[in-house]
Amino acid sequence: MIDARILPLQHKLLNPMARLLVHLNVRADQVTIAGFLLGLIALPLIATQHYLWGLTFILVNRLLDGLDGQVARLTQTTDRGAFLDIALDFMFYALIPLGFAFADSAANALAAAVLLAAFVGTGSSFLSFSLMAEKRGLQAQKFPSKGLYYLGGLTEGAETIAIFVAFCLWPTLFPTLAYAFAFACLLTTLSRWLQSWHMLAD
């Protein structure tokens, strides 16, 4: 919902770090893969109820996720890079609810399953529209720097990060927060279906 608004500020803040990485000959794909591998560490930490340490690696993952795109724009954007970025993002997003399901299966497993199902809705609607948009040569005016068509909604990247932070700060509230965010994801999915229905009409 707010990704397009904060994107210019994000670019401004990350640009110095990205320029340093470029100077050190670090490639965007390397940043993407490093961010994903570090993000994986959040899963066992959350599963063993080390929530604040898990949050630390969530934030590291998100920092590197922002940096990889900035590095790519300073050097060369590639289709492989865009693919890696979105594919690893969706996998990472799924691991966090899974971690809470492991942490307390009795309290959290059903809520985590509902949230993961909601993530399938937002992810599949996002990617399937992007595929059709690419076929038609459409471009998202709000996200001109993205490697694929970015169809927004109520729950975007910023909101997902915010709910992950809330999960880790208040782990006992995970079921309530997960159900609430799953409902917001459902609204996002429905809105994307509706947008796609109209935008892809023959």
pLDDT of residue 142: 61
Span 154-175, average pLDDT: 93
Give the pair of three-digit tokens for residue 158. 């910023």
pLDDT of residue 150: 64
pLDDT of residue 69: 87
pLDDT of residue 12: 82
What contacts 144, CB < 8 A, 6 or more positions away? none
Q: Which of 77-81, 87-91, 131-135, 154-158 is most confident?
A: 87-91
Lowest model confidence (mean pLDDT) among 53-62, 125-134, 146-155: 146-155
pLDDT single digits (tens) 49-97: 999 999 999 999 999 999 998 999 888 888 898 899 999 999 999 999 9
Q: Assign 3-class secondary structure to the chain.
A: CCHHHHHHHHHHHHHHHHHHHHHCCCCHHHHHHHHHHHHHCHHHHHHCCCHHHHHHHHHHHHHHHHHHHHHHHHCCCCHHHHHHHHHHHHHHHHHHHHHHHHHCHHHHHHHHHHHHHHHHHHHHHHHHHHHHHHHHCCCCCCCCCCCCCCCCCCCCHHHHHHHHHHHHHCHHHHHHHHHHHHHHHHHHHHHHHHHHHHHCCC
Query: CA-CA distance, 103 to 61, in Å (whole number)?
Result: 21
Identify the CATH number of the domain defined by range 3-199.
1.20.120.1760
Give percent of the chain above pLDDT 70: 90
**More confident of the two residues 198 and 182:** 182
- pTM > 0.85: yes
Say if residues 122 and 153 touch (Cβ distance below 8 Å).
yes
Position 139 pLDDT exceeds 80: no
Mean pLDDT of the chain: 89
Position 143 pLDDT exceeds 60: no
